[in-house]
Structure 1
Amino acid sequence: MRLLVTGAAGLLGRELLRSGPLCGHEVVPAYHSAVVAGGVRLDVRRRDAVREVIRTVRPDGIIHAAYRQDDWATTADGAVNVALEADGARLVFVSSDAVFSSRESRWTEDEPPRPETAYGAAKAAAETAIRALTPAAVIARTSIIVGSDGTSGEELRAHQLAGGEPGSFFTDNIRCPVHVADLAAALLELLGSGISGVAHLAGPEALSRYQLGRLIAIRDGLDPDALRSTPGVPSNILLDAQRTQATLTTHLRPPSEFLKDR
């Protein structure tokens, strides 16, 4: 499959560029500002630019991972532009647990979005449009993404705090972290499947950002007790991924497993 990956310069995009060819795909990276070798520059906010890139690349599939948390035009309008111009390509849209609000129980794939943040609202708007424009698309919601090379946000934060930089991890911000390699493998598996609609791709283990930071520190030989913590605004957003996991051969590991070693 000829696969176009948007947001190719990001953590997930880079992993898709690595793992896609291993699954037999010819991967074409699309980037906005940070140049990716062999890729095409793309501003998803411009529908004409999206149209031109898709007409040039002629992909069989698209994994749309481009977003900016503080920019509605990129996160929401950009996703709509990709859906409008997909031209029959198989579309997998990477969404977020931020489409939901805080509560004690887990959110399932069948529940409608209830965002509490502007970023969550942008992702929810994109989901709604994609479901209307391309019903065969996959909307893959995920959570905090962690890597093994120290470049994910939580890894960088843990190293900074362990090194004495100011700041802290939240104890009352609870999510279901997933490893970037597991997420990329699951997205590629969904791409090649006949599945459509909403899929939850998150780990089975709920952790606070502070607990996650400590696990990262231990894995990387840092002092976990050097990490400072603060309650923060209570936010408990947990994805129930059991239904999606049952359809996949890819195992979405818990942090207690994928953070044991590099």
Structure 2
Amino acid sequence: MKKFLNYVANQTSNTVSEWAHLVQYMEQSPEAIFIATATFEQRYTNPSFRKLFRKTRDDFFTEPMWEKTWSTIRDAQARASQGERVTSEVTCTFGEGTHHFSITHLPAPVKASERLVIGIVKSMTDSIQLQEERVRFDAYRHIFGSIDGLALFEFNLSNNAFTTFGSLEAMFGLTETDFSNYTPQLFKQMLHPDDLNAYLADLGQLMIDPKTYTRESTVRIFHLQTAQYRSFLVKSHLSTNRKVLTFAVIDSSRSTSSDQTTIEQLSQFVEAAMMEYDFQTESF
């Protein structure tokens, strides 16, 4: 804060007090805020900004961090310096992955000898990832729901997210339309008591053995509509980064010959069962 006010004082003396009130507000704001020139040269960042970007806060104002969206930021910054309020949605890569931000560029309300722009940064990463996951899950349900005798469960060990796909009603008597109500505990309760410990032992072996990625088990699962146990083959797969568990539950007695062929192909390579294409990076 003092460094920026000294900079303002060197620019023009009669605006220091006005800037002091504005910067004092920014220092206490929970929003990530920066001040930069029309060409996106850093002049000030508030504590919330420094907390959000940590070691990468200086990189925020350089092209390598933004790559393809750099021109978007520079254009928005230049327009804001001319008195326009501009919101840009940009993507960058730092830390553990890709991040999405919405930046509102505002012309500074206090004049200085060079045109300054105030930027308010909001993270959109979580909401965009949730939207992308929703689209992916809808595609999974459409494809796997048409295969009689196959159900897939995906459990993310990082955030405990649990997702289901496939013919759940025919196989288990589950009729709930809101799949988010299904939990791992529900399916654990549906396992036959005599099979539960053996299956959990298989799953534990999968988790603790760093060289093991797939386990195969046969279990009996309770059908909620017929009130009977039925036998299923379960192929459990741990992703290569050991963060996602996928379970392919197969009912060979109900599937057609064509379905059975598809099921066998999918269950051999559960993690690679779907091919996805990224239109931005033009990669599979």
TM-score range, shorter chain: under 0.3
User: Which of 1 and 2 has higher RCO (CA within 8 Å, sep 6+)?
Assistant: 1
Q: Which is strand-richer, 1 or 2?
A: 2
Greater helix proportion: 2
Bigger Rg, which one: 2
Under a length normalisation based on structure 1, what TM-score does the superposition of the two structures give? 0.22
Q: TM-score, normalised by structure 2?
A: 0.21
